[in-house]
Amino acid sequence: MFDRGIEIKTPEQIAVMRAAGLVVGETLELLRSSVAAGMTTRELDVIAHDHIRSRGATSNFLGYHGFTGVICTSVNDEVVHGIPGARVLRDGDIVSIDCGAIVDGWHGDAAITVAIGQVPDDVIELMRVTEDAMWSGIAAARLGGRVSDISHAIETAVMGAGDYGIVEGYTGHGIGSEMHQPPDVHNYGKPRRGAKLVKGLALAVEPMVTLGTSDTRRLDDDWTVVTTDGSWAAHFENTFTLTDGGAWVLTALDGGRERLEALGVPYGGD
């Protein structure tokens, strides 16, 4: 069912989205524990594809507008949409891994940034700030609130943490029977704007934060988004919904319980 362009899911449909979200969450944890210096990004893609298939799910990234991977792998100054390939990961790199899966027609979408070996403290801090901002955004969502409450919480968390760039031109999004649906979930903005947060809504929240500029450009491969100043970027994403109990993070293995409770927010999962 759609309400003003926004897909409202039944509890049964959300349960299938949870199944898809778990496949995504498991795949990302598998990749986090597998990634190592000397591997190519294509090897990560193969691991992801094998796991998604082993769970009876399918990839929503593969073939999306011609995309050739089941994950996006974005290294260092690459922000998002990097194509898995022959690039060899080296000690001191960071890689953002974005992954999605479909179960019975319902989508999950999530991303993590992982350090390979030793990386500088400011890069570790960038990753922490970006992940914390994602959780702050999810924690700001309440039934009856508005989409930009999430955006404002992300911006407040990032700007309160130091001198960072929030990437412009790329946003989170509604998700359900398609990967990308209305509404856009911006990573900055005033609160109390945009679509109302209601039961059955599902959103992917995905801040992209840099150690420098907010500006990006796309490489000649037509996919890879890089910072214009070469500064490194982190990207974290989760898909979540709201129930009467609170927030339920469909792509987190624990449903988001630990992080939400640490933020003093009720956990709305089963």
Q: Rule CB under 5 A: which residues touch Mg ion?
A: 98, 109, 111, 204, 237
- Residue 25 CA to residue 30 CA, distance in Å, equals 9
Residue 205, both tokens = 């929240």
Closer by beta carbon to Mg ion, 91 or else 176: 176
Closer by beta carbon to Mg ion, 111 or else 154: 111
Q: How far is the CB of 163 from Mg ion (least distance, A)?
A: 26
Q: How far is the CB of 205 from Mg ion (least distance, A)?
A: 9
> Closest by alpha carbon to 111, among 172, 191, 175?
172
CB burial readout 56-80, b (16+ within 10 A) else e? ebbbbbbeeeebebbbbbbbbbbbb
Residues 6 or more apart in contact with residue 118 via CB below 8 angstroms: 91, 92
Residue 174 is inside which H or E element, if any?
strand 172-174
> Closest by alpha carbon to 61, among 87, 99, 32?
99
- Residue 160 CA to residue 142 CA, distance in Å, equals 22
Closer by beta carbon to Mg ion, 102 or else 111: 111
- How far does CA 162 lie from the centroid of its chain? 22
Closer by beta carbon to Mg ion, 58 or else 192: 58
Cα–Cα distance list, 127 to 27, 72, 132, 238 (Å): 19, 17, 9, 15
Position 245: which residue type?
G
Position 119: which residue type?
V
Q: How far is the CB of 112 from Mg ion (least distance, A)?
A: 10
Residue 73, both tokens = 């792998």
Closer by beta carbon to Mg ion, 139 or else 204: 204
Q: How far is the CB of 253 from Mg ion (least distance, A)?
A: 17
Q: How far is the CB of 98 from Mg ion (least distance, A)?
A: 4
Closer by beta carbon to Mg ion, 12 or else 174: 174
Q: How far is the CB of 244 from Mg ion (least distance, A)?
A: 26
Closer by beta carbon to Mg ion, 63 or else 120: 63
Q: How far is the CB of 206 from Mg ion (least distance, A)?
A: 5
